[in-house]
């Protein structure tokens, strides 16, 4: 039974990942996510069903459009694969509980945000405004302990990044500030604090590595969203393990 759920989660995860690509690409451009069929963004050719199979279509076409041969970003299969993987590990980490619903919704928001932030350096308000009431409702029915923890998480997440945004004079985008607040509702204040610490750590380490390897230029703006996404996943799924490990390491 549990194995079946894991397989189904991977299958639906890859299909939803495909949809999250579309949402992340179209919402910032105010395009409809349902009324226009899938098409090549370079030549506008409509795609056939066999060009829409998550992960496999991209691999079979060697990352190129079958019509115009324009390269298709590796971001798309990466998002499909990541969503499939994360949907699959969710029941294994949080168990077959109501919290599974929270984890799948959280992953959905994180994947959409990753696409928008990498493509346009934007975290769309529309996406956050869709997920915020969903998370509030989920945390009313699947509460954290104490009950006010989601409120504290929101205030802490929003507050910490707001402080950095002001202190860095715009080095941090407003979208990141709002995103961290919304994520705080799911995480509660402790896991929000850990996510914040991890995000700045990932940003510093990967940013320095990127500079050293000349993948990014000094002063080039880098989206901070993907670091928040990575840090949130680690903090949400492995908060207790991280804390145990930290105190074990310190003693
Ligand atoms: Zn094309």
Q: Where along the chain do its domains lie?
A: 1-96, 121-251
Q: How far is the CA of 71 from the centre of ligand 1 (A)?
A: 8
| Residues 110, 229: Cα–Cα separation, whole Å | 6
H/E/C letters for each residue in 50-115? HHCCCCHHHHHCCCECCCCCCECCCHHHHHHHHHHHHHHHHHHHHCCCCHHHHHHHHHHHHHHHHH
Q: How far is the CA of 226 from the centre of ligand 1 (A)?
A: 27
Residue 137 pLDDT more than 90? yes
pLDDT at position 37 is: 83
Q: How far is the CA of 38 from the centre of ligand 1 (A)?
A: 11
Q: How far is the CA of 50 from the centre of ligand 1 (A)?
A: 15
Query: pLDDT tens-digit profile of 218-246?
Result: 777 778 999 999 999 999 999 999 999 98
Q: How far is the CA of 223 from the centre of ligand 1 (A)?
A: 27
Query: What is the share, in percent, of the chain residues with pLDDT greater than 90?
Result: 75
More confident residue, 149 or 217: 149
Q: How far is the CA of 10 from the centre of ligand 1 (A)?
A: 28
Query: pLDDT tens-digit profile of 80-95?
Result: 999 999 999 999 999 9
Residue 1 pLDDT more than 70? no
Q: How many CB atoms lie within 10 A of CB 131?
A: 23
Is 173 in contact with 224 (CB distance < 8 Å)? yes
SS3 224: coil
Q: How far is the CA of 39 from the centre of ligand 1 (A)?
A: 8
Q: How far is the CA of 162 from the centre of ligand 1 (A)?
A: 41
Q: How far is the CA of 107 from the centre of ligand 1 (A)?
A: 29
| Residues 164, 3: Cα–Cα separation, whole Å | 44
When the pLDDT of each residue in the chain is averaged and rounded to a whole number, the result is: 93
């Amino acid at each position: 039974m549990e194995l079946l759920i894991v397989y189904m989660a991977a299958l639906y995860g890859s299909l939803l990942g495909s949809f999250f690509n579309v949402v992340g690409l179209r919402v910032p451009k105010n395009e409809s996510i349902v009324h226009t069929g899938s098409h090549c963004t370079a030549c506008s050719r409509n795609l056939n069903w066999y060009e829409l199979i998550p992960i496999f279509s991209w691999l079979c076409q060697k990352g190129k459009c079958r019509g115009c041969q324009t390269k298709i970003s590796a971001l798309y299969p990466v998002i499909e694969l990541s969503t499939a993987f994360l949907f699959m590990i969710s029941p294994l980490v949080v168990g077959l509980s109501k919290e599974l619903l929270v984890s799948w919704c959280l992953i959905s928001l994180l994947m959409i945000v990753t696409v928008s932030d990498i493509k346009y350096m934007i975290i769309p308000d529309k996406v956050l405004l869709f997920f915020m009431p969903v998370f509030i409702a989920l945390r009313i029915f699947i509460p954290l302990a104490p009950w006010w923890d989601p409120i504290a998480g929101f205030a802490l997440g929003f507050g910490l990044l707001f402080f950095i945004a002001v202190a860095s004079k715009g080095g941090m985008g407003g979208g990141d500030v709002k995103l961290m607040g919304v994520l705080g509702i799911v995480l509660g204040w402790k896991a929000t604090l850990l996510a914040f610490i991890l995000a700045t750590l990932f940003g510093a380490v990967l940013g320095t590595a990127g500079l050293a390897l000349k993948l990014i230029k000094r002063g080039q703006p880098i989206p901070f969203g993907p670091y928040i996404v990575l840090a949130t996943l680690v903090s949400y799924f492995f908060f207790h393990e991280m804390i145990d490990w930290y105190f074990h390491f310190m003693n």
